[in-house]
């Protein structure tokens, strides 16, 4: 019975953003065309957790599973400005900082909040975007969760290693199930194995467009969001400067807002 529940959710989302169904921890790599695919150009490797529409997600385009989203658009611009080819490595969110420190990826763009703990481990660019948090529940339970107090003792599906884990830990008696990919959280919510989750509002909205039966609750987590930034290996100031230059250019050209709206449209498309 359980298996069928999961399969149904996978099927419901087939072709949209759950391309990872069934092969959870598989790490995927793909080469993205950033318009500078030259034979002799160097390749820079992006680390991301592609479970986060509209930031980074899987989408079938022309019959091919591709990693897209506005973080990926930004990564392509960075590679272009460096005259490099871009390779995208998809992994669980919690693996990203380790991969960066060990040099297996050159930079991380993954809707990542540059919080104090992470700043000890890696360096960050300037912030490039900002979003609020949202509590996601089953639609039929929406009225139960109007305040943060009403979430006390509730079971949460939370992405391991995310700031949402810290937020959930502040809720008295919350039972937290840590999961590698947000797709799995959505499935567990849908099948009733957890009762709530916390994620960035644009991400919640993107999933809700494609998944029936879920809703954003009125309860709003009390979290001082300080935006998203791009991570690089500690001490690599050259890469930070390079990335900030590209972000400045994209801001001046109003490109980031354009990427966000294009990626949101793409995430909503069946």
Given the rule CB under 6 A, which residues bind ligand ARG? 49, 51-52, 55-56, 93, 110-113, 159, 162-163, 182, 200
Q: Judged by CB, which is closer to ligand ARG: 49, or 85?
A: 49
The Cα 240–Cα 242 span in angstroms is: 5
∠ CA 115-198-195, nearest 5°, is: 150
Q: Judged by CB, which is closer to ligand ARG: 163, or 243?
A: 163
CB of 238 to ligand ARG, least distance (A): 24
Q: Judged by CB, which is closer to ligand ARG: 211, or 254?
A: 211
Residues in the chain: 270
Going across the sheet that includes 107-108, the strands are 28-32, 85-90, 43-48, 107-108, 231-233, 122-124
CA 158 centroid distance within chain: 13
> Which tokens in the block code for residue 37?
């695919």
Q: Is the dihedral of CA 131, 135, 137, 139 positive or negative?
A: negative
Q: Judged by CB, which is closer to ligand ARG: 83, or 234?
A: 234
Provide the strand spans (E) within 16-78: 28-32, 43-48, 51-52, 56-61, 64-68
Q: Judged by CB, which is closer to ligand ARG: 118, or 233?
A: 118
The Cα 48–Cα 108 span in angstroms is: 6
């Amino acid at each position: 019975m359980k298996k069928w529940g999961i399969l149904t959710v996978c099927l419901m989302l087939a072709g949209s953003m759950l391309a990872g169904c069934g092969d959870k921890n598989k790490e995927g790599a793909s080469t993205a065309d950033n318009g500078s695919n030259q034979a002799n150009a160097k390749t820079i490797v992006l680390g991301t957790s592609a479970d986060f529409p509209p930031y980074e997600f899987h989408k079938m385009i022309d019959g091919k599973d591709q990693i897209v989203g506005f973080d990926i658009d930004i990564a392509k611009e960075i590679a272009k400005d460096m005259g490099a080819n871009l390779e995208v490595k998809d992994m669980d969110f919690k693996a990203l900082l380790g991969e960066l420190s060990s040099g297996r990826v050159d930079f991380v763009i993954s809707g990542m909040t540059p919080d104090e703990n992470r700043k000890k481990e890696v360096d960050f660019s300037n912030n490039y975007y900002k979003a609020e948090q949202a509590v996601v529940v089953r639609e039929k339970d929406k009225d139960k969760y109007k305040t943060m107090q009403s979430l006390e003792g509730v079971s949460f599906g939370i992405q391991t290693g995310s700031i949402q884990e810290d937020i959930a830990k502040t809720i008295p008696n919350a039972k937290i199930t840590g999961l590698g990919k947000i797709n799995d959280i959505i499935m567990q919510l849908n099948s009733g194995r957890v009762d709530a989750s916390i994620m960035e509002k644009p991400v919640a909205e993107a999933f809700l467009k494609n998944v029936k039966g879920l809703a954003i609750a009125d309860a709003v987590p009390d979290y001082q969001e300080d935006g998203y930034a791009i991570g690089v290996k500690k001490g690599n100031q050259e890469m930070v400067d390079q990335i900030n230059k590209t972000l400045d250019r994209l801001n001046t050209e109003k490109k980031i807002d354009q990427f966000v709206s294009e990626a949101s449209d793409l995430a909503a498309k069946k």
